[in-house]
């Protein structure tokens, strides 16, 4: 049971759909496993909870 975890800022449902599909397809091809074996977890973080270069993303 391979697991792929992605942490990101808030994503649209379409972005999530595309990300899950493309990550699953790529990993399945690389690892020579069926796509059904993969679990993808998306963890969304509000922009107020992400800091880059000493600043909150919400302040940029």
Q: Are strands 3-9 and 39-45 parallel, antiparallel or unpaired?
A: parallel
Task: Assess contact for 48 and 11: CB atoms under 8 A.
Answer: no
- C-alpha closest to that of 47 among 14, 7, 13: 7
pLDDT at 7 over 90: yes
pLDDT in tens, 10-30: 999 999 999 999 999 999 999
Query: Which pair of tokens denotes residue 42?
Result: 């998306």
pLDDT of residue 60: 87
Task: Assess contact for 22 and 14: CB atoms under 8 A.
Answer: no
pLDDT of residue 40: 98
Q: What is the pTM of this model?
A: 0.82
Domains of the chain are: 3-59 (3.30.429.10)
């Amino acid at each position: 049971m391979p697991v792929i975890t992605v942490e990101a800022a808030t994503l649209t449902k379409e972005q999530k759909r595309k990300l899950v599909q493309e990550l699953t397809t790529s990993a399945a091809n690389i690892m020579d496993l069926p796509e059904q074996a993969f679990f993808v977890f998306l963890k969304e973080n509000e922009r107020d909870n992400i800091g880059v270069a000493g600043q909150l993303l919400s302040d940029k």
